[in-house]
Structure 1
Amino acid sequence: MSTVIQLALGVGGPGLPSLADAGDIAAAAGEAGVAAIRLADQSPAGRALDPTVVAAYLAGLHDGIGFLPVVPTTGNAPYNAARRLLSLDRATGGRAGVVLRPGGGDEVSEASVPDPGATDPARRWTEYARVLTQLWESFPNTALLGDQQAGVVADDTLIRPIAHEGAFYRVAGPLDGPSSVQGRPVLVADLGTLDVTAVAASADVVVVDRTQAAGVDAVLSQALRLAGRDRGEVALLGRVSVTRGDAVSGGLPARLRAWADEQLLDGFELVPEGGPDHVIAILRALEPRPQASTLRAAYGLREGALV
């Protein structure tokens, strides 16, 4: 069985593909059965285009592939981020998610921060992720009735505020729109800046550098058990840089499968080196996978809880 592939890409910044190039890359990724494109918010030489805007643009051109904009906690109030990402998820038919990056706070949340002394980015990430998932589940799509004859838009008994109050955020909720067909967007976490304990309660996909992946499956499995989850609820991906030479030399899919088997990975995040032509050549060297109905299905995840 072929491994799950996620492509890392920045768009519109110095040294990055243009929007037109990104469209060509997305087309090739869709043909290769790539699960999702991770869209960076910055490049080594400066900022990239807003990844949520790029995701919406590319999703309008190419269906059948997921999009994962990188969103930092810094400058993004969780309620606003939850609304923006869920709107993208509904618009793409359940093919959206987010790579949540740890950082600082935002001026909206800090106007009423519960604990001004709380500063740890990992603890903030954990709380922010919990708020996102709770908000995404606060208005289940089963509550949306649209009964014109009775004049009932939604069953408000199923729509519940989350009433969250933690060290970093106070969020009442609920959201003002229903969940998507996949239940809720996919939440991606990077190990390195975070550890498995921080991400175990909320992450759907965990990414670790392939050179540091040995033993992570066992550590993650234990952390998930302590969080009341099982290993099947999370996809573990190894991040690996890939060149055009890796593609043209042949055997890239076999090498990826071997690495996945050796390190108990579910797939890979490919970080392509080179320009757009190189990225497309790498994608065309992959073993095609059939398109899945939603992004969660592409990762082999069950639908998000609709509570």
Structure 2
Amino acid sequence: MTRTIVLDLAVGSILSVADATGIVAAARDTGVTAVRLLDGGPDDVLDPTVVAAHLAGRFPESHWIVDAPTTHNAPYNLARRVLSLDRATAGRSGLALRAGDGDEVSEATAPDRSATARHRRWAEYAGVLTGLWESFPAAALLGDQATGVFAEDTLITSIDHEGRFYRVAGPLDGPSSPQDRPVLVADARDDLDWADVVALADAVVISRARASEVTARLAEAFDRVGRRRGDIAVLGRVELPADDTPAERTAAQLADWVERYGFDGLELAPTGDHDRLLAVVRALVPRLGLSGGATLRAALGLPEPIGAGS
């Protein structure tokens, strides 16, 4: 069974773009499947979508996951930004949507201003994203110069969403990507409803501390929602401390952990020297048998996406 390795990077005040470029180059050569660009405060981290676009120009064969919270991000704007990145990278991008608060644009027209539950906001936001990403299918783009027809408008549909948190009409103004829509990642650290995660996400990241608890809850959610385990990539997230443990020993421990919980791969968050991280990755690659693919969806071993209304 092949698996994936995702590398976390927070590019900004501590890790410069130039340093990140060197790490991504080494990670690519080592066998890392994708780079997750973390979000944070404006004084600490650059906009992950901008960083991803810059790095993708240098490394067109790599895969990218950008972080973005619901806070200060209107769904239509974020959907358009991430889909633009996914199209520019030929289907090699995804979004880790983090649960948060609202945004100034959406709050002005929110149907229910008393709604505050973050896990409910995340679920509604995720549904809006997938609906928008599917609102302009690639088949609708004709570009027929002879007839002057740009697109088959009967295939382009408004989502006309009105929920508790958001009112979004759509559609988006550009077609879907080579992987149909960007990969949507949920993060177990956000305390989401597991039925929502299983119904809406393409991948979920589980921290080491909560592996037993979350794995059991996910299994229950698959039964409730009616999706198969193979429909979602489950990644175990590990923070690698800066210590003197040999890379081979660390890699063996991580590979055993992946096998124990049946994870589809690992997300590695370095807290120390990146050279040590890359040494661990080199030792992990032969143990995990890393997967690849022309799109991020293929690299994660995911099936074609289900429809937003499925």
Say whether the fold is shared (TM-score over 0.5). Answer: yes
Q: Deviations over 1:106-134 (max 9, x none)?
A: 11111111001101111000000000011
Secondary structure of the equivalent of 1:182? coil
Alignment of 1:278-289 (within 5 A): 278-287=276-285, 289=290
Q: Which residue of 2 aligns with 1:292?
A: 293
Q: Which residue of 1 aligns with 2:200?
A: 202
The reply on whether 1:257 has 2:255 as its aligned counterpart is yes
The offset of 1:35, in angstroms, is 2.2
Instruction: Give the partner amino acid of 1:20.
Output: A
Give the whole-Å Cα distance in 1 for the aligned partners of 2:226 and 2:127.
14
- Specify whether residues 167 and 246 from structure 1 end up closer, same or farther in structure 2 by C-alpha distance, changes over 3 A only: farther
Q: What are structure 1's unaligned runs of at least 5 residues?
A: none
The offset of 1:219, in angstroms, is 2.2
Identity %: 54
Q: Which residue of 2 aligns with 1:273?
A: 271
Give the whole-Å Cα distance in 1 for the aligned partners of 2:158 and 2:230.
29
Please report the RMSD computed on the Cα atoms of aligned residues, expressed in angstroms: 2.1
Secondary structure of the equivalent of 2:179? coil
The reply on whether 1:67 has 2:64 as its aligned counterpart is yes
2:166 to 151, 156, 169: 169
Give the whole-Å Cα distance in 1 for the aligned partners of 2:70 and 2:198.
18
Give the whole-Å Cα distance in 2 for the aligned partners of 1:155 and 1:246.
60
Give the whole-Å Cα distance in 2 for the aligned partners of 1:254 and 1:282.
9
- Specify whether residues 306 and 263 from structure 1 end up closer, same or farther in structure 2 by C-alpha distance, changes over 3 A only: closer
1:116 to 109, 113, 119: 113
- Between Structure 1 and Structure 2, the one with more helix by share is 2
The reply on whether 1:134 has 2:119 as its aligned counterpart is no
Secondary structure of the equivalent of 1:68? strand
- Specify whether residues 226 and 117 from structure 1 end up closer, same or farther in structure 2 by C-alpha distance, changes over 3 A only: same
Alignment of 1:88-107 (within 5 A): 88-107=85-104
Give the whole-Å Cα distance in 1 for the aligned partners of 2:304 and 2:27.
23
- Contact 1:17-1:275 within 8 A present in 2 as well: no
1:32 to 27, 30, 33: 30
Instruction: Give the partner amino acid of 1:110.
Output: E
- Specify whether residues 52 and 295 from structure 1 end up closer, same or farther in structure 2 by C-alpha distance, changes over 3 A only: same
The reply on whether 1:6 has 2:3 as its aligned counterpart is no
Give the whole-Å Cα distance in 1 for the aligned partners of 2:307 and 2:221.
24
Give the whole-Å Cα distance in 1 for the aligned partners of 2:228 and 2:74.
30
- Contact 1:8-1:38 within 8 A present in 2 as well: yes
Instruction: Give the partner amino acid of 1:269.
Output: E
The offset of 1:245, in angstroms, is 5.1
Give the whole-Å Cα distance in 2 for the aligned partners of 1:17 and 1:249.
23
- TM-score norm. by structure 1 comes to 0.92
Give the whole-Å Cα distance in 1 for the aligned partners of 2:233 and 2:270.
21
Q: What are structure 2's unaligned runs of at least 5 residues?
A: none
- Specify whether residues 17 and 4 from structure 1 end up closer, same or farther in structure 2 by C-alpha distance, changes over 3 A only: same
- Specify whether residues 262 and 220 from structure 1 end up closer, same or farther in structure 2 by C-alpha distance, changes over 3 A only: same
Give the whole-Å Cα distance in 2 for the aligned partners of 1:301 and 1:290.
11
The reply on whether 1:304 has 2:305 as its aligned counterpart is yes
The offset of 1:74, in angstroms, is 0.6
Aligned residue pairs, count: 304
